[in-house]
Structure 1
Amino acid sequence: MTEEARDNLDLIVGNYFFQQVEDFKYIGVNINQNSNMHNKIKLKIFAANKGYYALGKLFRSKLLSKQSKEFLYSSFLHPVLTYAYETWSNTKGDEEKMACFERRVLRRIYGPILEN
C-alpha cells in the first residue's frame, strides 16, 4: 500500500479500511465530523416544511376549524421539527429559524391580525 493511500484511510482494522466522511445518516440522525448541529436543524426544518406544504390545502381550508388545524400542527408538524430536540446544542440563530417556521404555520392557521 502506498503512502498516499494510507493518508486517505483514517482507520484500518485487520483487512478492513474505513475512510473518513464529512457526514452520514444513521437511524434518521445526521452525524458529522464536527459535531455541528446546524445541518441537522436545517434538515429538520426542511422535513417539517415538506409536511407543511403537504398539508397546505387543509391549513387553507375554510371547512376545518382552527382547533382542527392546531391539532394537525401539534400532532404532525411539531413532532417532525422537534424530534430529539433535547439532545441538540442550539444557537440563537437555530432557535430563531425554528421559531420563524412555527410563526409561519400559526399565521396560516389563525390568519392575519388586523389592527384598527
Structure 2
Amino acid sequence: MVISRKQESPKCDIFINKVKLKQTEKFKYLGTIVSNDGKTNREISARTAQAMINFQKMKTILTNKNTSIETRKRALQCYIEPFLMYGCEAWTISKQIQNKLEAIEMWFLRRMLRIPWTAKKTNERVLNEANKRRSLVRTIRKRQATFLGHVMRRGKLEHLVTTGKFEGKRSRGRQREKIMDGLATWLGPGKVSDILVAVKDRDLWRDMIANAYKQGTC
C-alpha cells in the first residue's frame, strides 16, 4: 500500500522471491481498516454499520418499554458503543465525521424510544425524553486525549510518529485536520505546543480532560 493524498495512488512494484505483491487500496489490520488515502472515513463508516447491525440484534431489549430507559441506555453503552468506538483513539474527527457520529447517536435514541420519523421531533426533544445529552463525540475525544497522554509520556516511537514533521513545502489548498489540532481545540489551549507541555504533568492533563468533558464541547 502507498499512502498518498493524490486521487490515484502512485504505483509501487515490490517483489519477494520474484513474486510481485498485490498493491491494495485498503486492508484490515487488527480489526481496523487502513486506507491508502490516510483517512479514517472508511473505518468509521464500517464501525457505524457494525454498531447498527448489533443494535438490531439486541432490538428486543433496547426498545422494550417495560425496561427503564436508564437500563437500556446502560445496555447501549456496554454492548453497542464498544463496537462503534473500537480504535477511535486514532480517528481524525472532522466536522463531517462529527456530524455523522452525532447522527448515529440520535439514531440509537430514536429507536430506543420508538420515535418514528413521521413524528418530526427535534433532536433536542428526543434528548430531553431520554434524559440524556450528547456524549459520544466527547467520549471519543476523552479516549483520544487519555491515549495521547500515555504516548507522549512514554517517549518512544509513537511519540516520534505523533510529533514528527516532514521536510518540504505544504501542498496547495486547505490542509487536512490533524488529531493534535482537534484535541488542542477540545482541551482549550488552542495550540499544539501548549498540549505538548501540559501532557507531561499527569495531574494537570487529567484535570484538563475532565474539564473539557464536563463542559460538553466537541
TM-score by length of structure 1 reads 0.79
Residue 27 of structure 1: aligned partner: 30
Partners of 2:76 and 2:106 in 1: how far apart? 12
Residue 95 of structure 1: aligned partner: 98
- Give deviations 1:30-88, integer Å, cap 9, x for gaps: 11211121111110100011011111121221221112101111001111111111111
Higher RCO, Cα 8 Å, sep 6+ = 1
Residue 89 of structure 2: aligned partner: 86
Q: Name the % identity.
A: 21
Partners of 1:26 and 1:86 in 2: how far apart? 15
Partners of 1:95 and 1:26 in 2: how far apart? 24
Bigger proportion of residues as strand: 1
Partners of 2:18 and 2:73 in 1: how far apart? 55
For 1:36-75, what aligned pairs fall within 5 Å after superposition? 36-75=39-78
Unmatched runs of 5 consecutive residues or more in structure 2: 1-10, 116-124, 127-218
Q: Give yes or no for contact 1:9–1:18 (8 Å, CA) kept in 2.
A: no
Q: Give yes or no for contact 1:9–1:19 (8 Å, CA) kept in 2.
A: no
- Give deviations 1:17-42, integer Å, cap 9, x for gaps: 21211111122111121112111111
Partners of 1:16 and 1:9 in 2: how far apart? 14
TM-score by length of structure 2 reads 0.45
